[in-house]
Amino acid sequence: MPTVAADPGPFTFDLDSTALVIIDMQRDFLLPGGFGESLGNDVAQLRRTIEPLVTLLAAWRAAGLPVIHTREGHLPDLSDCPPAKLRRGSMIGQEGRFGKILIRGEYGHDIIDELRPAAGEDIIDKPGKGAFYATELSEILEKSGARQLIVTGVTTEVCVHTTVREANDRGYECLVLADCVGSYFPEFQSVGLQMIAAQGGIFGWVAESPALIKEITR
């Protein structure tokens, strides 16, 4: 089986039971002038993930392997937005440069053009940080037989970390690609990746995308 050099040790995976998860590569978070930048964040820290992710996604699709995209956002009436989240995120549902912020169906809620989902690829709309909470992700993975996940997207310390932790508790093995995940805060990016691989891989493995691409294009 393919094996990728990773931290804390080699990650061996079965192509027949591995899925690529691309978390929240949405316009609201990544585009200049969008929600993320309106909070004072440097979107360039997230946008550096786009090029390696485009390359990875092309190779993954060429190999005929499953892809799952996620989008964080809410119903227009905010009925699925936890009250505590809304209290801390008062901009949710308000008009932004790209439509109502984090509202499903708005331009800003959707995935950036460079990583537009292809026909047949699953899209998970999630109301929380983790991709398993209040979504159909578990059912999709069970149906496909996936037991190992290649995890990418944004942000490293929030939605990526939460999803990896949720996956870990459900028995999935996760490989997080350092060049394909991003944080607005470089210090969080570094520490977030260290936390995943700490103590012998307490939450998973960390590697770079070229090492994985080499294994799936042999």
- Please identify every residue annotated as catalytic: 24, 126, 159
Are 162 and 129 in contact by the 8 Å Cβ rule? The answer is yes
- The two structure tokens encoding residue 131: 């991709």
CA dist., res. 167 & res. 158, Å (int): 14
At residue 79, the 3 state secondary structure works out as coil
Q: What is the longest distance spanned by two Cα atoms in the chain?
A: 50
CA dist., res. 64 & res. 118, Å (int): 12
CA dist., res. 56 & res. 71, Å (int): 19
